[in-house]
Structure 1
């Protein structure tokens, strides 16, 4: 996986993830992403962090094929820890994190976006949790920060997706723009924040986290326990096998 950092003179750091073909990250990739976010937040010269991706979509979650190829549970433990760390670092980053989302934002992508401070999206962006079709659970904590509770439940049970326009209607997406304008729109918003007093903004982030009604770390960790339970039951292995074999039949 490639993680690129581009620093602007005004204190904006742009973190770009590029892991073809669909930005479905392996276990190591989630840990690398967590470390990259942590390093930017620890830099006193950074005032805002923009999280974006290259390729067909923002994020397709975890690499199911990596999990399916593991005869034990080692990779599952590693990827669960990696997702937890990546989501946590986005949430706890001392400066605001803006997610600039294009194309698909699925599975673990919801965890990243749901824990971000601000979400911008292109017209072609869509969001969802296909977890139930993969024999897993998780990131409902973060989906519930993006859509109303009953809508989140329907999405979770069905695996259906929601558009950027729908999320904008719920108030969780700040703006929806043409795909070609997404990078510039993210920099414009980041620049507006970066122009503020950096100490005030860092304290604002800390204070907003402090008044959150849900402990997102504890809530997500609770969800992960059910993923382990499903794996021990054997249903997750069957779901991953079907996913991998289905991909093979489609020539992917």
Structure 2
């Protein structure tokens, strides 16, 4: 089961992604993640959600193998829809979502983190969008919530990564800690939020989303339209296969 929900302490729900080897999710995996976050947030006894992962890294995005196995566009549409639903679930969750990030955070991982309320990262965490190298586009919406505009563009065009310390410098990562301390730090922040009156915190979440200058749902779906165009043009299929061939050769 790649998505695990737990209640480590009163008022705090953890949603863990555990899909070896790299936490790349299938279309159904993204939907399951969305459902877990939404279910947690609508539980009156839940005051805050911690989104975390097991394994080598936080998230490697979409399972490209699932897309390549499909001779049509069903898997691609499923991945597009699944990502959009999962990112929206984090953003629209009635309670704050804390992302606890370790290792790599790529593609869809940036979509999740960019829509989270608080980001805590280990000192080995890196963030980036390799989309252009895969013949796709997407999650610039969410990367732009983590870094300034021109840095976002440079990272996007070059498919480069930034580390947790750089994001801490820009103010988008709340704390950077040794990996062994990541879960405890995320839970400490969660405890502080959970101790507040959840009625006030839930209202605060709505209020903050309501004044957000970025329409994250619409802008991300706009990006996805170009991904689909690249697939129709035959550009993306070759790029994905070259990546997978390189992975298999290692």
* TM-score of the two chains, using structure 1 as the length reference: 0.98
Q: Deviations over 1:46-77 (max 9, x none)?
A: 00000000000000000111111111100000
Let me know the Cα RMSD of the aligned residues: 0.7
User: More deviation in 63-72 or 185-194?
Assistant: 63-72
Q: How does 1:93-104 map to 2 (within 5 A)?
A: 93-104=93-104
The separation in 2 between residues aligned to 1:214 and 1:248, in whole angstroms, is: 39
The separation in 1 between residues aligned to 2:157 and 2:235, in whole angstroms, is: 16
The separation in 1 between residues aligned to 2:179 and 2:154, in whole angstroms, is: 28
The separation in 1 between residues aligned to 2:2 and 2:231, in whole angstroms, is: 29
Question: Does 2:29 match 1:34?
Answer: no
Q: Deviations over 1:67-92 (max 9, x none)?
A: 11111100000010000000000000
The equivalent residue for 2:162 is: 162
The equivalent residue for 1:126 is: 126
Find the residue that maps to 2:51 and give its secondary structure.
strand
Q: Deviations over 1:146-174 (max 9, x none)?
A: 00000000000000000000000000000
The separation in 2 between residues aligned to 1:156 and 1:172, in whole angstroms, is: 17
The separation in 1 between residues aligned to 2:32 and 2:102, in whole angstroms, is: 21
Q: Deviations over 1:27-58 (max 9, x none)?
A: 11001101111110110110000000000000
The separation in 2 between residues aligned to 1:16 and 1:56, in whole angstroms, is: 13
Q: Deviations over 1:165-219 (max 9, x none)?
A: 0000000000000000000000000000001111000000000000000110000
Structure 1: 4+ residue segments shifted above 2 A: none
Question: Does 2:192 match 1:192?
Answer: yes
* TM-score of the two chains, using structure 2 as the length reference: 0.99
The separation in 2 between residues aligned to 1:181 and 1:172, in whole angstroms, is: 19
The separation in 2 between residues aligned to 1:127 and 1:8, in whole angstroms, is: 27
The separation in 1 between residues aligned to 2:206 and 2:189, in whole angstroms, is: 20
The equivalent residue for 1:17 is: 17
User: More deviation in 165-174 or 240-249?
Assistant: 240-249
Find the residue that maps to 2:50 and give its secondary structure.
strand
Count residues in correspondence: 250
The equivalent residue for 2:240 is: 240
Find the residue that maps to 1:110 and give its secondary structure.
helix
Q: How does 1:1-252 map to 2 (within 5 A)?
A: 1-250=1-250
CA deviation after TM superposition for structure 1 residue 2, in Å: 1.8
CA deviation after TM superposition for structure 1 residue 8, in Å: 3.5
User: More deviation in 240-249 or 73-82?
Assistant: 240-249
The separation in 1 between residues aligned to 2:9 and 2:57, in whole angstroms, is: 28
